[in-house]
Amino acid sequence: MKKKITLIGAGQIGGTLAHLISIKELGDVVLFDVVEGVAKGKALDIAQSTAVDGFDINLQGTSNYEDIKNSDVIIITAGVPRKPGMTRDDLLGTNLKIIKQVAEGIKKNSPDSFVICITNPLDVIVMAFQKYSGLPTNNVVGMAGILDSSRFKYFLSQELKVPVKSIQSLVLGGHGDTMVPMPNHTLVNKKPLTQLIKKEKLDLIIDRTRKGGAEIVKYLEKGSAFYAPAASGVEMAESYIKNLKKTLPCAAYLNGEYGVKNVYAGVPVIIGSEGVEKVVEIELEKKELENFKISTKAVEDLFSAAIKIDKDLDS
Ligand code: TXD
């Protein structure tokens, strides 16, 4: 039975998600947007490439929540992206209203789906979505850590002149300036990174990773990164749909893991057919744990700002 994947938001990331999912034949695609023409136009455009790439899936563009019924996976990119000079947190006011509307649509029409949030400010938006929708926390997850880890690995591969595939690493914490790249948990051809790179170079790469999104926003001027974010979201959806049980850095609900409760933040999780099946607790050094807690505190503080905007979140 073919899976049904709904994409709420048919913009830069949504359209790229639809194309990647089609080429990988992960499932039939419903592309939803409040601007119906964008959803319909992109769905039809991708469908017209079927003969070229030979994938066999159905695509539908819509602005009607009825069409999302019984989705297996829903990926949310509805929202506005940053403009140069803006932080991800600056998007809170606008995107909180949007995610509330999206949560209502999903709660009413497809409450049993596995939901991947991408909209920024990611950690607070995914947490707000879970509270607004009431979907179980194992079925609500945020995409950021895979993207941040991918940026970190790419910059390292360029510096060390090694294939990206030879690097194992991860970035934890919130998807913002306090994110926590993990050099002491990074291997290059199975050797510890810290034996292969000077501290000054490593610090520059960590800083560039933290600012990876802003660097692209500066180049694009209108809009933010979308190819790598979409590829990252597809990896999560694929692990769920094919029950791959991959361990992936994602924004997941913490209920005491890493000493943190009742907040979403980037941690390694196992994603399979039950959604977020486990939060993996890796051994963190004192400084790493301190940095992780600084990052989760930043998420908690921004969520307090979200509650000031909408008291419905204060549950
Ligand atoms: O790592 C990450 N999580 C981030 C997330 C990586 C990159 C970008 N990140 C964020 O994703 C970005 O800051 C935005 O908040 C979202 C979406 O970025 P995108 O580049 O796709 O934005 P677009 O191209 O503006 O697309 C957003 C679409 C657009 O077509 C709107 O019409 C639609 O969202 N939209 C809505 N759809 C449904 N319902 C509502 N209410 C709605 N409002 C806008």
Domain shared by 270 and 293, yes or no: yes
- CA–CA separation, 64 and 58 (whole Å): 17
Q: What is the pLDDT of residue 315?
A: 78
Domain shared by 165 and 195, yes or no: yes
Q: With a cut of 90, say whether residue 37 has pLDDT above it.
A: yes
From 112, 142, 172, the end of a domain falls on: 142
Residue of 143, 153, 168, 124 lying closest to 295 (CA atoms) = 124
The pLDDT confidence band at residue 86, using thresholds 50, 70 and 90, is confident
Phi, psi angle pair for 89, to nearest 5°: -65, -25
The pLDDT confidence band at residue 99, using thresholds 50, 70 and 90, is very high
Task: Name which residue sits closest to atom 23 of ligand 1, judged by CA.
Answer: 11
What's the mean pLDDT in 149-157? Answer: 97
Which ligand 1 atom is nearest residue 225's CA?
A: 7
Q: With a cut of 90, say whether residue 190 has pLDDT above it.
A: yes
DSSP-derived pairing of the beta strands 28-32 and 59-62: parallel
Residue 314, in any domain of the structure: no
Domain shared by 138 and 154, yes or no: no
Query: How many domains does the chain fold into?
Result: 2
Residue 201, in any domain of the structure: yes
Q: With a cut of 90, say whether residue 144 has pLDDT above it.
A: yes
Residue 86, in any domain of the structure: yes
- Whether the CB-CB separation of 119 and 125 falls below 8 Å is answered with yes
Q: What percent of the chain has pLDDT over 70?
A: 100
Domain shared by 160 and 138, yes or no: no
The pLDDT confidence band at residue 136, using thresholds 50, 70 and 90, is very high
Domain shared by 160 and 129, yes or no: no
- CA–CA separation, 79 and 98 (whole Å): 6
Structure tokens at 305: 């700002």
Q: What is the pLDDT of residue 177?
A: 86
CB of 103 closer than 6 A to ligand 1? no
CB of 62 closer than 6 A to ligand 1? no
Domain shared by 48 and 85, yes or no: yes
Domain shared by 164 and 264, yes or no: yes
The pLDDT confidence band at residue 1, using thresholds 50, 70 and 90, is confident
Q: With a cut of 90, say whether residue 175 has pLDDT above it.
A: no
- CA–CA separation, 163 and 155 (whole Å): 11
Q: With a cut of 90, say whether residue 89 has pLDDT above it.
A: no
Domain shared by 204 and 105, yes or no: no
Q: What is the pLDDT of residue 176?
A: 86
Residue of 28, 128, 26 lying closest to 69 (CA atoms) = 28
What's the mean pLDDT in 144-155? Answer: 97
CB of 186 closer than 6 A to ligand 1? no
From 125, 142, 159, the end of a domain falls on: 142
Domain shared by 298 and 164, yes or no: yes
Domain shared by 151 and 121, yes or no: no
Q: What is the pLDDT of residue 29?
A: 98
Residue 236, in any domain of the structure: yes
Structure tokens at 277: 């099946």
**Residue 192: which residues within 8 A CB-CB, separation 6 or more?**
184, 186
Average of per-residue pLDDT values in the chain = 96
Measured in Å, residue 132 CA sits from the centre of ligand 1 at: 18
Residue 283, in any domain of the structure: yes
Measured in Å, residue 76 CA sits from the centre of ligand 1 at: 8
Measured in Å, residue 168 CA sits from the centre of ligand 1 at: 29
What's the mean pLDDT in 283-296? Answer: 94
- Whether the CB-CB separation of 24 and 234 falls below 8 Å is answered with yes
What's the mean pLDDT in 40-61? Answer: 97
- Residue 105's domain is classified under what CATH number? 3.40.50.720
From 142, 170, 190, the end of a domain falls on: 142
- Whether the CB-CB separation of 142 and 122 falls below 8 Å is answered with yes
Q: Which domain range does residue 291 map to?
A: 145-307
The pLDDT confidence band at residue 83, using thresholds 50, 70 and 90, is confident
Residue 291, in any domain of the structure: yes
- Whether the CB-CB separation of 75 and 7 falls below 8 Å is answered with yes
Phi, psi angle pair for 113, to nearest 5°: -75, 160
